[in-house]
Amino acid sequence: MTKPPKPKPLLQDADKPVRSRPRKPRDPAQPNLPDPMPDRIEPCLALLKARPPKGDDWVYEIKWDGYRLAVHIEPRGVRILTRSGLDWTHRFPLIEAAAKALPVSTAIVDGEAVVVDERGRSDFGLLQQSLGGRGGKKRSSNAVFMAFDLLYFDGHNLRKSELDVRRHLLEDLVPAGGQGNIRLSEEIEADGDQLLASACEHDLEGIIAKRRDAPYRSGRLGDWVKIKCVQSDSFVIVGYERSTVARAGIGRLLLAARKGKKLVYVGGVGTGFNERNAYELREKLDRLNTSTPAATVDRKGAIFVKPKLIAEIEYRGWTDDG
């Protein structure tokens, strides 16, 4: 009796057996999560604009002046990551403890670590001071985390959800009006121009506008817009650094402010002038060259000039060390 012919695998060549498509292996540390929890998410960044956008598509918040952080609440504990991905959990112990107390098993909360002054305004200088100054290694004992977005929640990746959906879940997790070490950055129903004017009157840094229907997209793509209350003042030019790009140009002006009877170096600025302006300014500065600096400036390669020229500078605020 002859054997019936062996059937070919369906929709396949005879020499290629049917196989199911391989699944992505699940992380054994988080076996029950519908969406694997990202190890890190690049932040959505705000695009700088001169005026607030108009229309019902936009919502507003106060702009906080601090360090951008992502608080990861994970099965193994809490991680607090900086914008560049550094693990600063140990530097914000009060925020870490507050995150552990939130009623959620897994989450990634986007926000800003700030220190507020006696009037409730965020002060970047005070935040730096709480961390030991520029380059310091201290643990902050008074920083609070202003939460403004929720990217992952109880096993679900929310980045494709609209801002309104993410905010609804965030407000359940971090209720408005709280005074703990994790607080809600509240949305404000207002006209953008009026809100900006009010923010500037109260010496705040500015405001943020966000599209209601936008998903969370990493990078500076225009879904979020920042409008700043710009400060400006006059500073004495005490030197400059040569540009490594523009021929015969200026890379950075070195500036000083008068404190009492002496000039004190306050920093430098390398933007706000084009190549032609820089060339003309360079000619003026070269006629003022001096070997005796008008202020103490510890900058390698600095070229010092007599303190004869004044520059009007727009700036965001003063750091703790001036």
Query: Could you give the residue numbers annotated as active site?
Result: 63
Q: Is residue 113 within 8 Å of 145, Cβ to Cβ?
A: yes
Tokens of 127: 């935040």
Which residue intervals of the chain are DSSP H helices?
A: 93-100, 124-130, 163-173, 192-201, 275-286
Give the 3-state secondary structure of residue 63.
coil
Give the 3-state secondary structure of residue 130.
helix
Closest CA relative to residue 80, chosen from 71, 92, 93: 71
Measure Cα distances from 19 to 11, 23, 56 in Å: 11, 12, 51
Identify the residue whose tokens are 């950055």: 185
Closest CA relative to residue 302, chosen from 236, 240, 246: 240
Give the phi and the psi of residue 66 in degrees, each rounded to 5.
Answer: -160, -145
Measure Cα distances from 287 to 80, 168, 256, 309 in Å: 51, 62, 19, 11
Closest CA relative to residue 36, chosen from 23, 48, 47, 46: 23
Q: Cα(37)–Cα(107) distance, rounded to whole angstroms?
A: 8
- DSSP-derived letter for residue 291 is S
Q: Cα(79)–Cα(74) distance, rounded to whole angstroms?
A: 8
